[in-house]
Amino acid sequence: VGTMAATPESISEKVTESIKLAEEACAENPASGECIAAYDEVEELSAAASHARQKMKESDPLETYCSDNPETDECRTYDN
Amino acid sequence: MAICTVYTTHSLKSTSSVSTPTKTHLGFHQRQVIFYSTSKKTDRRGSSEISCSAGEAKTVVIGLAADSGCGKSTFMRRLTSVFGGAAEPPKGGNPDSNTLISDTTTVICLDDYHSLDRTGRKKNGVTALDPRANNFDLMYEQVKSLKDGIAVEKPIYNHVSGLLDPPELIQPPKILVIEGLHPMFDPRVRDLLDFSIYLDISDEVKFAWKIQRDMAERGHSLESIKASIEARKPDFDAYIDPQKQYADAVIEVLPTQLIPDDNEGKVLRVRLIMKEGVKYFSPVYLFDEGSTISWIPCGRKLTCSYPGIKFFYGPDAYFGNEVSVLEMDGPFDRLDELIYVESHLSNISTKFYGEVTQQMLKHADFPGSNNGTGLFQTITGLKIRDLYEQIVASKTSAPLEATKA
């Protein structure tokens, strides 16, 4: 496991909840449609969480600041 | 480009101005013909005919199929980078839009064509992999419209809420990439594709990747990751996996053979399987086209650390099709290895020496940059650029020849 940015709280909670629900749905019949659909939801939310982490990792604090304040000393760039 | 011809059968009196095509903000042409006539509409015979040949404005459509969590988005970022310009979500729209737009390329995610939202799928006990959860009629209609140069209102599937959000307007791009679980499932959609790619990740590697992705996530355990893969597997095998037989290029990711019993999923054996006889696509080869070659670049000219790098190239059969296979096993340690390898590959459709290496360097932080996944994804991106340029060239030369005759 490499360096991970934290998942946004809202998604992280949903992932945890969906796993719990899937485990319950599969307790009775692991081959049922409900069980399979529940684990599909787990996968979908895990993928969404990973995409959100990726997005957060990419956001550089200075870059974010500079896109809003391009005229400040620390952000000004001249091509020539 | 839309070629519109105006035939005015009579009347010098009528001043007709035909405004074609309208420029959109994408700098591309929409098929929209506005016809003004200032003459009195008394003479019925003085009608003007406008014929537009729809075939000319064509967008090139690429299909990319892969399971979720198999590196589609990394591939997409590499592909759009080859065409230049950063791909970004549509400005000012839904923040959860799955679409990526750059100057030349628009990438749409086929999850947007789910016919059942998350609650609907749960109620019916089906997964997103199931064709019953997808609206292939709408997918076909909208991809066809975009290919013909007509903008569409495409729904948005929100991955966080699991709901279908209000649609967004998609303008016809130069290159349209449809990525998702089912780009080659419906025969009508498949026929619209100018090129198709399938990312085939072996079960061992998929498991290792999902552990890397999810283990840090609260609530996930080895068991829940395993259970999720197992639960989706029957639908994956029934509906997703068979699509690979239609792909023009398949990127297979397998465990390495250089280290016995390796299951970490860090060292990978990656195979690029290229169909022969595809129009505008000539497969990459190593040293000599059509021969079978095993090559270990490590030696006097190149120092490699454990476990080294091994290449394979040769003809093969894949689902009854004749293919060429290029395989790389092992990781790159340093960049000089890559330029050495690149210089021995032919038909990679680069515009200058070292372009593959340069593209890989640009995204050294992407997953797969030190092994065959990044290398073959980049090469596939260059092959798609080449294919696109050939299609455009053949389209513009055809009408020219017609006027000469």
B57-198 fold = Rossmann fold (3.40.50)
Nearest CA-CA distance, residue A71 and chain B, Å: 22
Using the predicted structure, report yes or no on whether residue B34 has a pLDDT greater than 70: no
B120 and A CB contact within 8 Å: no
pLDDT at B41: 42
Buried b (16+ CB within 10 A) or exposed e, A28-40: eeeeebbbbbbbb
B76 and A CB contact within 8 Å: no
pLDDT tens figures, B251-266: 999 999 888 877 677 7
pTM: 0.80
Contact between A31 and B125 (Cβ < 8 Å): no
Of residues A56 and B39, the one with the higher pLDDT is: A56
B269 and A CB contact within 8 Å: no
Segment B176-187 mean pLDDT: 94
Domain ranges within chain B, ordered by starting residue: 2-54, 57-198, 248-384
- What dihedral do alpha carbons B254, B76, B247, B126 form, nearest 10°? 80
Q: Which residue has the tokens 């689902």?
A: B319
Residue B236 is given by DSSP the state: I
B218:A12 CB<8 A: yes
Nearest CA-CA distance, residue B105 and chain A, Å: 20
Picking from A1, A26, A34, the nearest residue to B215 by CB comes out as A1
pLDDT tens figures, B209-225: 888 888 877 777 888 88
B235 and A CB contact within 8 Å: yes
- Token reading at B198: 């399938």
pLDDT tens figures, B323-332: 999 999 988 8
B231:A35 CB<8 A: yes
As a whole number of angstroms, the distance between CA B120 and CA B201 comes to 29
Average pLDDT for chain B: 82
Residues of chain A with pLDDT under 50: 1-4
Residue B130 is given by DSSP the state: S
pLDDT at B12: 43
Where are the alpha helices (H) located in B110-243, listed in sequence order?
118-124, 136-147, 187-192, 203-214, 222-235
B233 and A CB contact within 8 Å: no
Phi, psi (deg, nearest 5) at residue A56: -70, -35
For A9, the closest chain B residue by CA position comes to B218
Picking from B125, B159, B228, the nearest residue to A48 by CB comes out as B159
pLDDT at B38: 46
Using 50, 70 and 90 to split pLDDT, how confident is the model at B35? very low
The CA-to-CA distance between both ends of chain B, in Å, stands at 20
Nearest CA-CA distance, residue A21 and chain B, Å: 11
B206 and A CB contact within 8 Å: no
B213:A46 CB<8 A: yes
Phi-psi region for residue B354, left (φ > 0), alpha (ψ -120 to 50) or beta?
left
Using 50, 70 and 90 to split pLDDT, how confident is the model at B16? very low
pLDDT tens figures, B335-378: 777 888 899 999 999 999 989 998 988 888 888 888 889 999 99
pLDDT at B215: 81
Using the predicted structure, report yes or no on whether residue B319 has a pLDDT greater than 90: yes
pLDDT at B114: 93
Contacts of B109 (CB under 8 A, 6+ apart): B98, B99, B157, B179, B180
For A18, the closest chain B residue by CA position comes to B219
